[in-house]
Amino acid sequence: MKPLCIILFVIAAAIVVGCTDPDVPITLDETPYPVRFEDLPEPILPTDYPLTQTRVSLGRTLFHDGQLSRTGTQSCATCHSQAAAFSDNRKYSIGVRGLPGTRQAMALVNLAWSDRGFFWDGRSPTLRDQALHPIVDTLEMDETLDNVVRKLSTSSMYRSMFTRAFGSDSITPERIGIALEQFMLILISGQSKYDRALAGYAVLSETEERGRQLFMREFDPTYKKKGAECFHCHAAPFFTNDRFMNNGLDDDAMFLDLGRERVTGLASDRAKFRVPTLRNIARTAPYMHDGRFKTLEEVVDFYNIGVRRSSTVDALMQFNLAPGLKLDAQDKADLVAFLKTLTDEQFLTNPLYRMP
Ligand code: HEC
Ligand code: HEC
């Protein structure tokens, strides 16, 4: 028996050694990333760098890595936390210098369908360009791109990840931007109670359904059939029309942030901001570009009675004079109940988005 055991052992050892060749080269791996966009329309994805498993995975690692900041302590996820639909529940995020920014961090949801420019004022034309801004912003990560490249280049893990993703271990700002873009493109939310009800898998409660009707109905100046006029701007299925608009938060004398005008230089764009998505809105408080409202109830009160006139307020905000929308307590509760049906637990807990 003994010689047989030895022979078997030698064969087994040979198989093990043969299977783990340490010299297998690390090469470009372009296995496509299977984008799941649920019942949403098909997104327009980049054609120069199609979504691949290796690029998305690199982007995910970078998104959660503090090395992108000067102090090593702040990652994208510090201000864009998954539990808050990749937004920040602080009014203003605090950068690595300990100073607050000047706008509320935006939720990162369904960006694959957004093509009119990123940020509240749309100043960044593409996501891959956008992704590099927070790194160098002194009120955010306060780092130089040269330093980030240097730091990442010392890591053999990153060098092999860049090789698998792009075909060589050269780490450049452009590649960092593309990888972050790929990760942000897969942040897709389309499984809320609202979506499941549309597809027939769930039923909205009475209050949610009344809220849905208010949301989806035009304002009626005769008040015969109350409508809250939300749907033109916050249009389904994305609950945004992706345009820059003034929803009447302030009058001209109160404008502190010029918004879109800072990008176009046009006075007609003064205090216009990108219409934000309302998907997962119950999780992304506080609200508006300056985080002025703490709760959805406050937001609904504002639309009900607080809309102000100004030179650029949108024509759809025609109910800006008293008595406003004339929503009673029940209507307001219904509207808030409907907004909460846009919460997508699968998105908020999706393990594919977590720190790897
Ligand atoms: C210190 C907090 C902070 C950090 C860190 C941060 N962001 Fe942001 N992010 C913000 C704020 C605030 C805004 C809105 C700024 C504005 O509109 O001027 C924003 C906006 C965005 C937007 C625009 C979304 C849209 O719909 O237009 C994207 C995309 C984004 N951030 C991605 C990132 C990425 C990628 C990183 C990491 C490289 C990052 N952010 C790091 C605070 C932060
Ligand atoms: C004329 C277009 C328009 C209409 C109509 C409109 N909104 Fe808005 N909404 C906006 C814009 C623009 C913003 C961002 C404003 C800002 O921050 O300066 C916004 C912001 C919000 C926010 C805060 C989102 C965030 O991420 O901070 C909520 C919630 C909201 N709207 C709900 C509603 C509801 C509910 C209605 C109907 C009662 C409604 N909106 C009607 C354009 C509109």
Query: From ligand 2's centre to the CA of 301, what distance in Å?
Result: 12
Q: Which of 331, 38, 311, 56 is nearest to 198 (CA)?
A: 38
pLDDT at 107 over 70: yes
Sign of CA dihedral 196, 197, 201, 202: positive
> Which of 108, 111, 185, 258 for a ligand 1 pocket mutation test, highest count of atoms within 8 Å of Cβ?
108
CA-proximal residue: ligand 1, atom 30 (nearest): 131
Under 8 Å between Cβ of 271 and 246: yes
The band of 15, judged by pLDDT with boundaries at 50, 70 and 90, is very low
pLDDT at 18 over 50: no
Query: From ligand 1's centre to the CA of 134, what distance in Å?
Result: 6
> Which of 299, 335, 339 for a ligand 2 pocket mutation test, highest count of atoms within 8 Å of Cβ?
299
Residue 287 to residue 105: CA distance in whole angstroms = 10
Give Cβ neighbours of residue 179 (< 8 Å, ≥ 6 apart): 55, 56, 58, 59, 62, 165
- Minimum-distance ligand 1 atom for the alpha carbon of 111: 26
Query: From ligand 1's centre to the CA of 309, what distance in Å?
Result: 30
pLDDT of residue 318: 82
Residue 246 to residue 270: CA distance in whole angstroms = 8
Query: From ligand 1's centre to the CA of 89, what distance in Å?
Result: 13
Instruction: Give the pLDDT mean for 127-142.
Output: 95
Cα distances from 95 to residues 81, 105, 138, 322, 355, in angstroms, run: 15, 12, 8, 41, 20
Instruction: Give the pLDDT mean for 134-141.
Output: 95
Least confident segment among 100-104, 260-264, 315-319: 315-319
Instruction: Give the pLDDT mean for 14-34.
Output: 71
pLDDT at 26 over 70: yes
pLDDT per position as a tens digit, 217-232: 999 989 999 999 999 9
Residue with tokens 């960044």: 124
Instruction: Give the pLDDT mean for 184-197.
Output: 97
User: Cβ–Cβ contacts within 10 Å for residue 337, how many?
Assistant: 19
pLDDT at 303 over 50: yes
Q: What is the mean pLDDT of the chain?
A: 93
pLDDT at 14 over 70: no
Residue 344 to residue 37: CA distance in whole angstroms = 13
pLDDT of residue 320: 78
- Minimum-distance ligand 1 atom for the alpha carbon of 122: 27
Instruction: Give the pLDDT mean for 44-67.
Output: 97
Q: Name the residue type at position 69.
A: S
Least confident segment among 18-32, 264-278, 317-331: 18-32
pLDDT at 161 over 90: yes
Joined tokens for residue 355: 């720190």
Instruction: Give the pLDDT mean for 303-319.
Output: 92
pLDDT of residue 322: 77
Instruction: Give the pLDDT mean for 98-111.
Output: 94
Give Cβ neighbours of residue 6 (< 8 Å, ≥ 6 apart): none
Q: Which of 203, 197, 157, 202 is nearest to 58 (CA)?
A: 157
Q: Name the residue type at position 278.
A: L
CA-proximal residue: ligand 2, atom 2 (nearest): 233
Residue 279 to residue 142: CA distance in whole angstroms = 30
Give Cβ neighbours of residue 113 (< 8 Å, ≥ 6 apart): 40, 41, 43, 44, 238, 242
